[in-house]
């Protein structure tokens, strides 16, 4: 084989190894139950949990407690299995947090009572949602 072909094959092999090693690090969404089991098994890596904010009977978000200095807060999140969990976030409440459709918390349990989020990702209602448009004169 030519020297150029060997170098090309080497580069392809290195790329495949990098891709395969990054797939092992790719996180999946877990439930609070699974996250707690992982903590009890000694895993300390960040866990992604997806859920919705707890709402009362009229559809208003409930369970948010903001500290006096407004630098951190706790809230209730209900995961996809229906488990309700108190979550602590050591940052101010993000803009439009109350309006989010889904919330992804990235963090871990520090004890069995509270999940500590290092990062919060939100899916907010789209301003581009399809609505009925009526033409003028109709």
pLDDT in tens, 112-134: 789 999 999 988 766 555 555 55
Q: Is residue 137 part of a domain?
A: no
What are the distances in angstroms from CA 113 to CA 33, 51, 90, 108, 109?
12, 17, 16, 11, 8
Q: Do the Cβ atoms of 85 and 117 come closer than 8 Å?
A: no
CATH number, domain of 36, equals: 2.40.50.140
Q: Do the Cβ atoms of 43 and 97 come closer than 8 Å?
A: no
Q: Is residue 114 part of a domain?
A: yes
pLDDT greater at residue 13 or residue 21: 13
Per-residue pLDDT, 24 = 54
Q: Is residue 19 part of a domain?
A: no
Q: Is residue 131 part of a domain?
A: no
Q: What is the pLDDT of residues 68-90, one digit of tens each?
A: 888 999 999 999 899 999 999 99
| Residues of the domain holding 86 | 28-123
Q: Is residue 118 part of a domain?
A: yes
Q: Is residue 82 part of a domain?
A: yes
Q: What is the mean pLDDT of the chain?
A: 83
Count of domains for the chain: 1
Q: Is residue 40 part of a domain?
A: yes
Q: Is residue 17 part of a domain?
A: no
Tell me what percent of the residues of the chain surpass a pLDDT of 70.
83
Q: Which of 28, 47, 40, 58 is nearest to 87 (CA)?
A: 47
């Amino acid at each position: 084989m030519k020297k150029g072909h060997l170098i090309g094959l080497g580069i392809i092999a290195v790329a495949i190894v990098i891709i395969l090693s990054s797939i092992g690090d790719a996180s999946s969404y877990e439930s609070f139950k699974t996250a707690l089991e992982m903590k009890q098994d000694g895993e300390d890596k960040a866990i992604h949990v997806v859920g919705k904010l707890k709402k009362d009977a009229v559809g208003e978000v409930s369970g948010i407690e903001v500290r006096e200095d407004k630098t951190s807060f706790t809230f209730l999140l209900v995961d996809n299995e229906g488990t309700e969990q108190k979550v602590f976030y050591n940052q101010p409440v993000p803009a439009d947090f109350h309006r989010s459709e889904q919330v992804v918390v990235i963090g871990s349990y520090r004890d069995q009572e509270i999940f500590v989020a290092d990062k919060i990702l939100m899916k907010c209602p789209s301003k581009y949602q399809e609505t009925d448009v009526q033409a003028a004169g109709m």
